[in-house]
Structure 1
Amino acid sequence: MNLIVPTLEIQIESYEGPLATLITLIKKNKVSIWDVPIAFITERFLEYVELIKEFKLKIAEDFIDIASLLLFLKSRMLLPTDTTGEEEEETEEEIVQRLIEFEQMRNMATTIGNLPMLNRDIFCRGKDSVEGEVDYDLLLLCKVFFDVITRREERYITVSEIKPTLEEKINMLKSVIDTAGIFVWNIDDEEEHREKVATILGMLELTRTRVVTLTQKRPFGKIVMKKRGEVSPLVSGNG
């Protein structure tokens, strides 16, 4: 069988390895992976190994591993037929299987590499151009700022006068106590909020001045105010 000897083309820095070399030899000689002429391929492979050894010993180590297998197969072929057995077949199948797996992975890598890649085949839209800086007059900016400040709508808070006043409420409570002697007040009674606040403050003030006593059996329950004794003078304006 006449085989074509391929032109030796090796790029040492980017060479893929011994399996790629074997596949290259097989393809250039148009031989099936399952029908590899071991003797001839071994010779061609060793030529590649010798060349690579001259350039880079570390790369040659991987090639020597495959070369040793090829030489083993070649030596087995020189032995009588009846001495060969399953060991030779297993070694040949090992090389063939490694070649097939390597070729499959290389094909998948090529397929993935051909997919559109960001920043290589596909590019994102760039950022909008930034307008140049504008030089504004500082005095003009200050004028605009003060114009905005003066144009702001002024907000006013209306505070309603509390009616009755605390003094008026104290006098009312004192009048009730002087007349009835007791005053019962419930926070739930229908009164305006301001009225309730004035009532509570009035009762507390009368208690502070020891005019009345306050009793409440439970939180937020009814408050009972009773006259204690003679009314102490109240100072107007002490609220």
Structure 2
Amino acid sequence: MLEKPDTLTIKLEAFEGPLDLLLHLIKELKVDILDIPMIEITEQYLQYLHAMQELSLDIAGDYLLMAATLVEIKSRMLLPKKTMLIDEEFYEDGQDPREELIRQLVEYKRIQEAAKVLKEMENERGDYFTKLPAELENFRHAIPLNPGEVTKEDLLVALQRMYVRLQKRAPLQVEMDKEVFSVEETMDDIMEEFNQKFEENQLQIPFTHFFEKNASKKAIVNTFLAMLELVNQKKIWFRQEVLYGEIFLERLLGSVL
């Protein structure tokens, strides 16, 4: 049993509940939360409630309930350590009546510490200046394309329309072995087409021309990727003479065929 400390001077602070008050008393008495001296804690807790009554302050019901719990636990601690009947329940020798109270206090302390960390993070975040969202609609301007340039949206629309058209023209049932070509091989085929057209003094080939041989999804994707890679290599480019008109592939002058 710890020696009874000097009378504790309690400041009537605003506590968030009985557990908050108990943690404050444990800190002031400098005792271990896992080994609470129930006599001292109960006396100091009741002293706090008595001070509130003298100041005509309303005491919430949960404070009174905790006071009754503390008195009950203190009474159990004073009884001889043997099997005893309390509230029609048997408490075996060695069972600590403070166990449930300690569990609640430890859990509540963890919550308090987590709340403290979050508050510190909030205060640190307050040191940063955050720009309020601004309305930028008036600053949006469409950048016009150069004559003949094609947007990616135009390409995707053209690809989708071409695929739908080819599917409508395809037979209902087809059974045949399809050759699988790599993107590199398809790039060679596209440039070979330009070789032939170049001899005929033709530098433009319709976009849909390269998809008519094989209308399968794999072939279409493979051909489209080959076109994009040739554009990336600056060998060809997409051109559209009229808005929403047909898209052509055009050989760039100076490209190596």
What is the TM-score of this pair, normalised by structure 2? 0.42
Q: Which has the larger radius of gyration?
A: 1
